[in-house]
Structure 1
Amino acid sequence: MIRTLLARAGLVATAAGLATLLSAAPAAAHGADAPDGTDYRTRATGVTPARPGLEVRVVEAGARLELTNHTGRPIEVIGYSGEPYLRVGPDGVYENSRSPATYLNRTIAGDTALPTDADPAAPPSWRRIADGSTARWHDQRALWQETAPPDAVRAAPDREHRVRDWTVPLRDGADPARIDGTLDWLPPPDAYTWWAVTIVGLLAVGALGLLAAASPAGSRALSALGALLIVGGAIAVVYPVGREVDAGARGVGGVLIGLLSGQVWSLLTGLGAIAAGCYALARRPGADFVVALGGACLALLAGTGNAAVFARSIAPVPWPPEAARVMVAALLITGAGATAAGILRLHATSRAAAAALTQPR
């Protein structure tokens, strides 16, 4: 029995680490290269002159622009050298394979090598890339691409700064138009404060594992851990849903497709934590191990994977960044705290079992 308990404690770290490795590729694939947070706020202020039925917005925490065309006629997005880049119309979305922007905009860094036939002066070669009337793309005109922040930011990092006003040219038939927007730098939050609060919170939750597992207080502690895991699991489900909405997903179907293609491990982690919490509330056999494993996965996959918001002013979710930080802190507190508490309870159980074996009969 003692060996079984110790083996279960060791499996907590092993299983959680394996889950982290397995989830690395799907997480990186979400939104191509969607940021986990940024200090640059990109806003689209509208289309000039106004075009009824033509909508533009910023998605993925500013990493992409989204253009939706309900005008009934094709609208072209103009590339960096004045060439046609995208065409969005009633018959779908097309990209010009001769436009350098087609390749540069595939990553947020704009570091894709150009093929030999990429020539902005050549006649367009249109290639259909999507159905519908919505296009999303990285645009270097709306982003800050330098490694170092602007000079004004370095001079006064505690203040908000307008980096620039930007425009993206459009063409409606023979008529020119443009997308207008702004790029601002926002001072980041104090990450140390958020980490300090998180560590104190997870230690408080972990302390529940010090209560004797066989006592009434220990039973109540197990129930409390179960309830916390359910709350943490619910947050772990809501957060990736928010990321998909911020990435431009529309409707329940769009959110589900995004979750299954790019956020499936975060979703499964949340559902698993909820199941582990229910298992603990029912006080089923082996609940301590289930709590520890569920908490470890929650902290590693849902908590640390989104912890960049502690040090970034813009979060990739449609709610305020302060709310995003509270949610991530709650994920880490419930996940890491439940892991510590579960391991402590397993250790206490193994010691009690060892003591029982040494007592004279």
Structure 2
Amino acid sequence: MRTLAFGAAVVALLLSAPVALAHQGNPHYRSLVTSVTPAVKGVDVSVLNFDDRLLMHNTSGQDITILDYQNKPYAQLLKDGTVQVNTNSEAYYLNEDRLGETSVPKGLGSEPKWKQLSRSSRFEWHDHRAHWMGKSDPPNLKDKSVKTKIDNWTVPIQVAGDKGTIAGTLTWVPLDEGGLPVGAIFAFAALLIALSIAVFIIRRRRADGDGDGGGDGGAPQKKKEVVEAW
């Protein structure tokens, strides 16, 4: 049973690894927050995994609302630390997929329907305004060997009811050709997992073998002790 459970766990790791990689940002792109307005002490916004997600940390003592692609409330970081998201916002569904291809339920209410996520004062989300959405290269990317600014981006917010903006830039960055490709990294990880399985099975068989030998070896030992007694 232990071997079966271990094998199932390894299979789960192998299946989940490519999914995890798929949700990482694109290392060729660098999304960078350049400003947050109004400038309020205790409000910090950064980009995670190159261009994948935005992270806001609010310790300002003010309520902050992040607006969606229709300028409607999407998420809130309240002054008491509560973090909640509006499940009636299309962004709640679209942000689950990097290309925004997740289907949005029909008939979403016009009034916010808040779902509490935590009381951590921190919220991270995938925002399509902060990365390149196209499946092909940006039109202004003429030479991939040259660092190229792709676009400026903005995410509208409200701070204590006042309109504001998270502003940033998106840049293409050529990678060192000597770097290890993501596919090779995953292949190496899979190899390590396979080796771990092999080691586990070998040790398991040896342990089972030692157990069988121990049971048979008891009698000869006892016989030897009787002969020495004579």
State TM-score, norm by structure 2.
0.70
Q: 1:138 aligns with which of 109, 113, 126?
A: 126
Distance change in 2, residues 1:152/1:101 (3 Å): same
- Match of 1:183, SS state, is strand
Pairing of 1:202-221 with structure 2 (within 5 A) = none
Q: Is the 8 A contact 1:83 1:99 kept in 2?
A: yes
Aligned partner (choices 75, 83, 87) of residue 93 of structure 1 = 83
Partner of 1:186: 173
Match of 1:264 in 2: none
| CA distance 1:149–1:29, change in 2 (3 Å) | closer
CA change 1:18–1:304 in 2 (3 A) is farther
Q: Which residue of 2 aligns with 1:61?
A: 50
- Aligned partner of residue 141 in structure 1, secondary structure: helix
After superposition, give the CA deviation of every residue in 1:102-133 in whole Å (9 maximum; x if it has no partner): 111122221111011335xx121111122210
Calculate the aligned-residue CA RMSD, in Å: 3.2
1:305 alignment partner in structure 2 = 186
Name the residue aligned to 1:83.
72
Contact 1:94 1:126 in 2 (8 A): yes
Aligned residue in 2 for 1:162: 149
Residue in 1 that maps onto 2:104: 114
In structure 2, list runs of 5 or more residues that go unmatched.
Answer: 1-6, 196-230
SS at match of 2:50: helix
- Alpha-carbon distance between aligned partners in 2 of 1:31 and 1:188, rounded to the nearest angstrom: 18
Q: Name 2:227's counterpart in structure 1.
A: none
Deviation digits for residues 284-325 of structure 1, max 9, x if unmatched? xxxxxxxxxxxxxxxxxx963188xxxxxxxxxxxxxxxxxx
Give the corresponding residue for 2:94: 104
Task: Give the number of the structure whose alpha-carbon radius of gyration is greater.
Answer: 2
In structure 2, C-alpha distance between the alignment counterparts of 1:51 and 1:163, rounded to whole Å? 28
**SS of the counterpart of 2:140?**
helix
Residue 23 of structure 1 deviates from its aligned partner by 1.4
The aligned amino acid for 2:186 is G
Q: Secondary structure at the match of 1:118?
A: coil
More helix as a share of residues: 1
Alpha-carbon deviation of 1:34? 2.3
User: Contact (CA 8 Å) 1:141, 1:168: kept in 2 or not?
Assistant: yes
CA contact (8 A) 1:47 1:177 kept: yes
Alpha carbons 1:57, 1:66 under 8 Å: kept:
yes
Which range is displaced more, 135-144 or 26-35? 26-35
How many residues in Structure 1 have an aligned counterpart in Structure 2? 186
Q: Does the 8 Å contact 2:59/2:121 carry over to 1?
A: yes
* 1:26-70 CA-partner distances (Å, limit 9, x unpaired): 4356498224x5211111123122111101011123200000110
User: For 1:7-39, what per-residue CA distance to the aligned partner results, in whole angstroms no more than 9, with x for missing partners?
Assistant: xxxxxxxxxx9986441234356498224x521
Matches of 1:72 and 1:25, distance apart in 2:
43
